[in-house]
Amino acid sequence: MKFEAAFDTAVKMRYPVLAVGKAGLGKTVALNWIAAQSGAAYCEVAQHTKAIRPMFLMLHDAYGVQKDSKHTYDLAKDCMNFLGARYGPTRPLLVDEYQNFTPTVLRELLHLQERCGFALLLAGNTHRLASTRRDTHAMDQIESRIGMRFEIGQPTREDCVRIGAEHGVEGADAYEAIVIYGENTSLRALCHLLQNCTAATSGVGGIRLSRIETTLRVMSCGSDALKLLHERGDDLRRSA
């Protein structure tokens, strides 16, 4: 998974890494999965967290640190302490929807990472941060602090197979179906499908092709997905 490669790079380099892709590809799903597997701290930049003080509050929440002060200066000093490993090893930080930051606030986060040295993975959409002519200097500093950039695309066959195994998919035909579905939709759509399949089976037994097809019939746009699965299945049988 491309996100795993980006995360591993951030941990090894201790330099900010950027992972970007089109909206709807399942970036949030992937980041939450990495956070659950690795123990990394996760946060999402919303409209109310894109200023400097709310950004510091967001970091406190992500790491489960009590906010003892209301003043920006003190909040910043607290962040320096817990992100600088003063209280033990610092968990990596995953920041979702980073493009919602203003350039000035993102520069402040990158400055914090530079001083503390924690692993940082920024993820979001491909469009650039909204900026003005006054932000030119901040944008230059941001670009110079990003260690590596990863472009996130459609799920690969390997991604789909791994996700299928984690959800208990059984049978070569079922795996072929989820690969076709995942490669033509997104990571988020594939996980949603398999979660619905699991719910329908009440978690008892594996997910076979018949269950996938039954679940697709009751999902919105499922008829188009079923048609695609059958067409691709016919193509594979003819080429065999």
Q: Is 14 in contact with 119 (CB distance < 8 Å)? A: yes
How is the chain split into domains, by residue range?
2-152, 157-239
pLDDT band, residue 24 (cuts 50/70/90) = confident
Name the pairing type of β-strands 17-21 and 41-44: unpaired
Tell me how far CA of residue 7 lies from CA of 40, 73, 201, in angstroms.
Answer: 10, 30, 33
pLDDT value of position 79: 92
For the chain, give the number of residues: 240
Q: What is the pLDDT of residues 156-177, one digit of tens each?
A: 899 899 899 989 999 999 999 9
Tell me the pLDDT of the chain averaged across its residues.
85
**pLDDT band at 136, cuts 50/70/90?**
low
Question: Who's near 192: CB < 8 A, 6+ residues apart?
Answer: none
Task: Give the C-alpha separation, 133 to 119, whole Å.
Answer: 30
pLDDT one-digit tens code per residue, 117-128: 999 999 998 655
> Which tokens belong to 166?
């984690």
CATH of 2-152, one of 1.10.510.10, 3.90.120.10, 3.40.50.300, 1.10.238.10: 3.40.50.300
Mean pLDDT, rounded, for 223-236: 69
